[in-house]
Structure 1
Amino acid sequence: MEKNLFDSFEKVGSKQWKQKIQYELKGADYNDTLVWESLEGIKVKPFYHYDEFEIKVPSATPATPFSILQNIFVHDVAKSNKRALETLNRGAESIRFTIENESVSVEELMQNLPKDNTTYFFYLPFLSIDFAKTINDFSAKNGYKSIVLIDPIHQLGKDGNWFENLDKDFEKLNQTAKLGKSIISVNSSLYQNAGANMVQQLAYTLAHVNEYFNRVENISQQITIEVSVGSNYFFEIAKLRALRILFNTLAKEYNHKLDCIIVATPTKRNKTLYDYNVNMLRTTTECMSAILGGADYIANLPYDALYHKDNEFGDRIARNQLLVLKHESYFDLVNNAADGSYYIEEITNQLAEKALLLFKDIEANGGLITQLIEGTIQRKISESAAKEQEWFDSGKEVLLGTNKYPNKNDKMKHDLELYPFVKQNPRKTLIVPIIEKRLAEKLEQERLAQEE
């Protein structure tokens, strides 16, 4: 019998490692020097050892297979159909159409699009039973796999108003949910892009889901959860793992036995105008976090999405980033490389536990909708965003090319096709909207004002 080489070495415990580290620090304090605290209040240690906590068996959350998702805003039906065909021929595996009104012909939009192994999402920023039925009937008749994304709570949080009002929105949602297809969706990207920390993101998402479990009768289909992924690489992997654990724990209480569908997209919060090519590096690591965290569908964010209208080049680069990860880095073939990492497993547990405590507090105080109406959620997100903004302003949180090593010769004023900052739209709303805001906005506005 062959002898394992590592059996020849004496096992080293965490206590011995700490003693060696303390010796190398030459008197400096271990906790002050090497332990740092995240925005979520989690203390991150320099190493994790199996004898320090109870996790002995790694969680089994393989991140493959994931589907490459392409976003298409439907302004012109014929052009959107053509773009969908080209995109699928060039490597995309699923499509998310954003349809802004009911005048769009679903039959024309879907003409000649492939059916096998392709999922079509329809995001509707309006609430229409008839249009949702049209999509579902067409899909059933023609053999398409479609998912309609309707989320009145996201509408309330983002816009400040319901589509109509609470009662009518949920009355219509209940009717569309009876169509038998995936209708219920939770768009939690708003929380991340507005500056909520990961514990808040998880807790608010869980409370968001819970509102639908409570208010929609007999949810018999999978619930789609849309998330934004930031650049804290290992924490983001843990966040998505924790999300699935929390969802399934909650779903069991309602005898809902279907797993959620996770659709992930890189955040806009850390993206920048200046040195914009760095955005490609950011989105690459964020997509990796999404893959290893177990996302089912990933829609990459083009590097120029902040300031350019949709364009073929930006979309192609974004799609190719995912193609490289999938077919050249073999993320779709190997078992999840994050499985068994004590660090990730520990962070997953801590995020899940902290989020569950916050979720219980939200429910004890009336639930997510009540706390949105009272302004509690908005205030908590603003406090978290202000803390992260302070880290950015002080240089503790670094965005290369922006608040660290900026290229002072970089000019952007004449390249802006889109307004890249928070838009002011004073109007009467039921609640204070949750406002998405990037970390670099103030600094970028100052630089733009100084350009000749």
Structure 2
Amino acid sequence: MSATRSLADDFAPADLAAWRALAEKGLKGRPFDELIHRTADGLEIQPLYTSADAGGRTGPLTSPAVDVTRPWDLRGVVSATDPVEANRIALEHLNGGAASLLVEARGALADQDGLVPALKGVLLELASVALDAGADGARAADALAVAAKGSPRAALALHLDAPSAWATSEGADLAALTISFANTALRHAAAYPQASLFMASGVAVHDAGGTEVQELAFMAAGAVQAARAAEAAGGDPAQALARTVLGLSADQDVLLTIAKLRAARLIWRQLAGAVGIDAPARIEARGSRRMLTSLDAETNLLRQTAACFAAAVGGADAIALDPFDRVLGIDSPVALRQSRNIQLVLMEESHLGRVADPLAGAFAVEQLTDQLARRAWAAFQAIEAEGGLNAALLSGRLPDQVAEAAEARAARIASGDLVMIGVNQHPRPGDAPPPPVSVADCPLPLRRDAVAFELKAFEEAAHAAS
């Protein structure tokens, strides 16, 4: 039997000093620090990593997919407010390759008379329906339970998330939402044992311009808040946590998105261990809404593809992408189709499900995962020290911190330090967006990255037309 031979045998041993000398030569007098990228949280991403940087974690954080051709739940977004149109889009998604639906059940669609016809023809024991209902969450959950009547094994996702609902609504009562959502969850828990009840999401923080650490800390604090609310309503906090879904945004920064999702699993392990449950994290990744632009809107397709790739590699259990032209107020058939086909190509043609946690052991990813998890856990502890997520929101401290991060992000985009193709670099001449939409008056409003450039383009177009 021949001896095992390393592929590196024919090469000289790696020498970090020699590599640095070559790197500095290439910089031609510029400081080496230019090769170091710093995240919005101040974390450093080095140009080169070694095994010493891996943080001691080289094992996969996710399990192999049951079906490698469909390794995650492709979730079609239904945002129409008219029940007939919502039903058409829902069936189009399911017939076009989606496995489940994320229904934005606001207003009329949050009631039984709206949601039930919107789900006509949807087999709820085969296609899971998740809700994005904001402050209407309790009404929408009740309506979904009616729609699922006769299907006790329906894998509903009620997604009750009081902190996010309050933070993204105008004039809501956080204490009332917390009590109402907890009572609603417990009321439906026994009738639908396969249903997830709560969502602990950091998406509101991301879309308001927050950092990755802020988003993860909000997510962790939201999970604890849901468990406490369930206990106060007479339920089992451990079971409430076990039936909680984690929500995170995925954007065009592939490395950070991958590390953020992996860090969420490390944080979940700590939370689950604290209450004595052995339940894996379930993560729903939503395509970032702050990254979408009405200027050269087709570039949103590229951002969504990068975001979807990162979410899949990071181990998301479900992924939902908005239509690329949603900012234009269109949701065109081709955009709805592309929101599915981006995922289908990555699943079925690029075979992303064939390896579990494919970047496990990559030194840069392991270190960034570890740094994000540690910093987010410290931020979560600070929220807990203030009395929990509700207290941190009502005090204004947390919204103020997110607003500060958003201002810093906007400054980087304005200066060109943070690049948006088609917006602050390589804009399409004469591309004028629709009239700008005012920012909602709520604690964590959606702050899209391109708004300042869209406003300028709109004003220039209006001036040229006058």
User: TM-score by structure 1 length?
Assistant: 0.88
1:150 correspondence with 2:160: yes
When residues 316 and 63 of structure 1 are mapped into structure 2, their CA distance, relative to the original with a 3 A threshold, is: farther
| In 1, Cα distance between equivalents of 2:137 and 2:35 | 54
Give 2:103's aligned residue: 97
Mapping of 1:267-306 within 5 angstroms?
267-306=288-327
Give 1:38's aligned residue: 39
1:186 correspondence with 2:207: no
Aligned-pair CA distance for 1:173: 4.3
Give 1:77's aligned residue: 83
Aligned-pair CA distance for 1:166: 5.6
Mapping of 1:8-27 within 5 angstroms?
8-25=10-27
| In 2, Cα distance between equivalents of 1:119 and 1:216 | 23
| Matched letter for residue 205 of structure 2 | Y
Contact 2:124 2:148 in 1 (8 A): no
| In 1, Cα distance between equivalents of 2:55 and 2:137 | 49
Give 2:62's aligned residue: 61
When residues 98 and 270 of structure 1 are mapped into structure 2, their CA distance, relative to the original with a 3 A threshold, is: closer
1:261-280 Cα deviation digits (max 9, x unpaired): 21112212122111111111
1:203-229 Cα deviation digits (max 9, x unpaired): 111111111122212142421122211
Q: Any idea what SS the aligned residue of 1:387 has? A: helix
Mapping of 1:358-373 within 5 angstroms?
358-373=379-394
Mapping of 1:427-442 within 5 angstroms?
433-442=443-452
Task: After superposing the two structures, state which structure 1 stretch, 289-298 or 54-63, moved more.
Answer: 54-63
Contact 2:185 2:198 in 1 (8 A): no
Give 1:428's aligned residue: none
Give 2:68's aligned residue: none
Aligned-pair CA distance for 1:342: 0.9
When residues 10 and 208 of structure 1 are mapped into structure 2, their CA distance, relative to the original with a 3 A threshold, is: same
| In 1, Cα distance between equivalents of 2:165 and 2:408 | 26
Aligned-pair CA distance for 1:113: 2.5
Task: After superposing the two structures, state which structure 1 stretch, 145-154 or 102-111, moved more.
Answer: 102-111
Task: After superposing the two structures, state which structure 1 stretch, 116-125 or 384-393, moved more.
Answer: 116-125
Q: Any idea what SS the aligned residue of 2:207 has? A: helix
Give 1:119's aligned residue: 128
1:126-150 Cα deviation digits (max 9, x unpaired): 5576863563465373343222121
Aligned-pair CA distance for 1:116: 6.2
| In 2, Cα distance between equivalents of 1:245 and 1:199 | 13
Mapping of 1:351-390 within 5 angstroms?
351-390=372-411
| In 1, Cα distance between equivalents of 2:83 and 2:185 | 29
| Matched letter for residue 176 of structure 2 | N
Aligned-pair CA distance for 1:202: 0.8
Aligned-pair CA distance for 1:403: 1.0
Contact 2:216 2:376 in 1 (8 A): yes
Aligned-pair CA distance for 1:21: 2.9
Q: Percent identical across equivalent pairs?
A: 24
| Matched letter for residue 169 of structure 1 | S
1:255 correspondence with 2:248: no
Contact 1:68 1:93 in 2 (8 A): yes
When residues 207 and 335 of structure 1 are mapped into structure 2, their CA distance, relative to the original with a 3 A threshold, is: closer
| In 2, Cα distance between equivalents of 1:337 and 1:442 | 38
Aligned-pair CA distance for 1:307: 1.1
| Matched letter for residue 96 of structure 1 | L
Aligned-pair CA distance for 1:57: 2.2
Give 1:51's aligned residue: 52
Q: Any idea what SS the aligned residue of 2:164 has? A: helix
Q: Any idea what SS the aligned residue of 1:148 has? A: strand
Task: After superposing the two structures, state which structure 1 stretch, 297-306 or 10-19, moved more.
Answer: 10-19
When residues 83 and 365 of structure 1 are mapped into structure 2, their CA distance, relative to the original with a 3 A threshold, is: closer
1:86 correspondence with 2:92: yes
Contact 1:176 1:183 in 2 (8 A): no
| Matched letter for residue 45 of structure 1 | Q
